[in-house]
């Protein structure tokens, strides 16, 4: 066997992965599979996931079931990074199969209970374990402080008011403003009253301590059901809007409104997998990165030159028009910097493998494998997102993450002009990352915005906007 450059490759059982048939005779893995090293097992799991997804996409459920059976022998939610990822992607593919029978799907979920308190806890764990939201808060607050220079009445609308730490920091920053603090009003939107009550208590307490005139306006509502009148935007106040991981859900649209695209993946587990199997990398993110470099590309939709999707959501257009109509002096948007909104299963699966490989790698590098907190974040946050991206379609598919360039196009079309984040804000954010005790976190500037990465993999973007009248 030879690589493309003609050099020989040492003989290995891995060489047969890409040509290995999936048939009923493979109901349980070959004996040597259990003896694979961690890297080799990860490669085999990638092969099985791609094979399974191809069968699911084409309706070959018998072969998909065989592939899932094999994955179950090797994957584990408490194993190494690649075993954990495979467990959640396999679950998502199985869930997609079951959704073909709505009655069975509903019966399986009929007694499932997700406690709101657990969801809030997992979001808090995500905030604590990763620096992404902390960086977003630093950049958002600095942009607000700079935009509101000289303003005496400032109103901030938080589209998902879940973490008081962001606004406590803003209060502290305003308290030392040379011209004195403004009268600050924060409107917090969240579906849970308890979350808003806790935020109100902490912010009012901090404002009193700092002697800053302050009001908190809680709105108990899902963002999609927001009553505009409750925002109480007043004449004479300078308005800022903070959106943290909220806009992408408005891209959801009903299946009948979307244009169907033919499947675009051609034999992903063929020659491209052959190239993957020649790699010797330690993480799934690296494996996938190498695979892309050798020809197994992410979806065309992720290319920076790609036009804005013609299936853009009417809900998104309407919501952005609503925000524009409020005439904010500044709007700061934080979103996942990934392309999980492709029209086909295989597009989304490949893109999601890249993203979640990086996120699981973050935890592998910083948190013990036996940590229950880590398991909760992986299962209840990342696992649920993976299931939504892979198993759901239409309005039910909420996790429609897109790349920064798409948001730039979309916000520009909605009448917003990009505002470059300041050097000082970026400096603060870099210092935060450098002090995090892990050198895998990076950030880079793109068109005046910031992209936060794990190694070289973009994961979150932060961009600032103003109304272009």
Q: pLDDT tens, 67-122? A: 999 999 899 999 999 999 999 999 999 999 988 888 888 888 878 777 777 888 99
Say if CB 262 and CB 32 are below 8 A apart. Answer: no
Average pLDDT along the chain: 82
What is the model's pTM?
0.82
Q: Please name the residue that has the structure tokens 């630093």.
A: 138
Specify the range with the lowest mean pLDDT, choosing from 220-234, 284-298, 414-428.
284-298
Residues 14-43: tens digit of each pLDDT: 444 444 444 444 444 555 566 677 788 888
Mean pLDDT value across residues 404-429: 95
- Residue 33 is predicted with a pLDDT of 60
C-alpha dihedral sign at 189, 194, 198, 204: positive
- Contact criterion met (CB below 8 Å) for 401 and 246: no
Select the highest-mean-pLDDT range: 112-126, 167-181, 299-313: 167-181
Segment 252-266 mean pLDDT? 44
Q: Looking at residue 436, what is its pLDDT?
A: 83
Please give the pLDDT value at position 32. 57
Average pLDDT over residues 373-400: 94
pLDDT digits (tens, 9 = 90+) for 56-65: 999 898 999 9
Q: Would you state the pLDDT for residue 312?
A: 53
Comparison of pLDDT for 292 and 333, the residue scoring more: 333
Give the burial class of 426: count Cβ atoms within 10 A of its Cβ; 0-12 exposed, 13-18 middle, 19 or more buried: buried
Give the residue, 239 or 318, on which the prediction is more confident. Answer: 239
The whole-angstrom distance between residue 243's C-alpha and the CA centroid of its chain comes to 14
pLDDT on residue 358? 95
Question: Would you give the end-to-end CA distance of the chain in angstroms?
Answer: 63
- Secondary structure of residue 455 in the 3-state scheme: coil
pLDDT of residue 56: 93
Find the radius of gyration of the CA atoms of the chain. Answer: 24
Distance CA 151, CA 154 (A): 7
Q: Is a pLDDT exceeding 60 seen at residue 457?
A: yes
Percentage of the residues of the chain whose pLDDT score is greater than 90: 62
389 pLDDT more than 90: yes
Query: Which of the four pLDDT bands, split at 50, 70 and 90, describes residue 271?
Result: very low
């Amino acid at each position: 066997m030879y690589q493309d450059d003609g050099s020989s490759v040492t003989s290995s059982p891995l060489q047969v992965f890409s040509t290995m048939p999936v048939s009923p005779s493979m109901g349980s893995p070959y004996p040597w599979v259990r003896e694979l090293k961690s890297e080799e097992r990860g490669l085999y799991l990638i092969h099985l996931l791609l094979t399974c997804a191809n069968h699911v996409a084409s309706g070959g459920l018998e072969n998909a079931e065989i592939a899932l059976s094999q994955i179950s022998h090797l994957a584990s939610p408490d194993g190494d990074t690649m075993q954990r990822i495979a467990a959640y992607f396999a679950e998502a593919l199985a869930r997609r199969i079951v959704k073909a029978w709505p009655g069975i799907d509903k019966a399986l979920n009929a007694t499932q209970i997700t406690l709101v308190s657990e969801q809030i806890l997992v979001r808090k764990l995500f905030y604590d374990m990763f620096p992404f939201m902390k960086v977003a808060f630093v950049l958002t607050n600095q942009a607000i402080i700079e935009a509101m220079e000289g303003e005496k009445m400032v109103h901030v609308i938080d589209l998902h008011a879940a973490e008081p730490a962001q606004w406590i920091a803003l209060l502290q920053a305003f308290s030392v403003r040379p011209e004195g603090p403004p009268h600050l009003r924060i409107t917090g939107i969240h579906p849970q009253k308890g979350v808003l009550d806790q935020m109100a208590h902490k912010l009012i307490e901090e404002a009193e301590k700092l002697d800053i005139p302050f009001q908190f306006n809680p709105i108990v509502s899902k963002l999609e059901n927001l009553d505009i009148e409750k925002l109480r935007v007043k004449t004479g106040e300078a308005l800022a809007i903070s959106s943290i991981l909220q806009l992408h859900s408005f891209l959801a649209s009903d299946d009948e409104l979307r244009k169907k695209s033919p499947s675009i993946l051609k034999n992903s587990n063929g020659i491209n997998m052959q190239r993957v199997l020649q790699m010797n990398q330690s993480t799934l993110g690296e494996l996938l990165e190498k695979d892309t470099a050798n020809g197994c590309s992410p979806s065309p939709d992720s290319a920076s030159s790609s036009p804005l999707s013609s299936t853009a959501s009417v809900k998104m257009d309407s919501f952005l028009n609503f925000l524009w109509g409020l005439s904010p002096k500044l709007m700061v948007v934080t979103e996942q910097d990934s392309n999980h909104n492709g029209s086909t299963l295989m597009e989304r699966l490949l893109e999601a493998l890249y993203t979640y490989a990086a996120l699981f790698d973050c935890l592998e590098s910083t948190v013990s494998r036996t940590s229950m907190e880590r398991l909760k974040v992986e299962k209840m946050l990342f696992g649920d997102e993976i299931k939504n991206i892979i198993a759901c379609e239409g309005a039910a598919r909420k996790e429609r993450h897109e790349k920064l360039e798409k948001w730039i196009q979309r916000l520009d079309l909605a009448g917003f002009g990009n505002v470059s984040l300041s050097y000082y804000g970026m400096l603060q954010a870099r210092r935060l990352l450098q002090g995090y005790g892990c050198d895998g976190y990076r950030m880079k500037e793109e068109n005046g915005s910031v992209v936060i990465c794990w190694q070289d993999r973009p994961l979150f973007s932060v961009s600032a906007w103003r109304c272009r009248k």
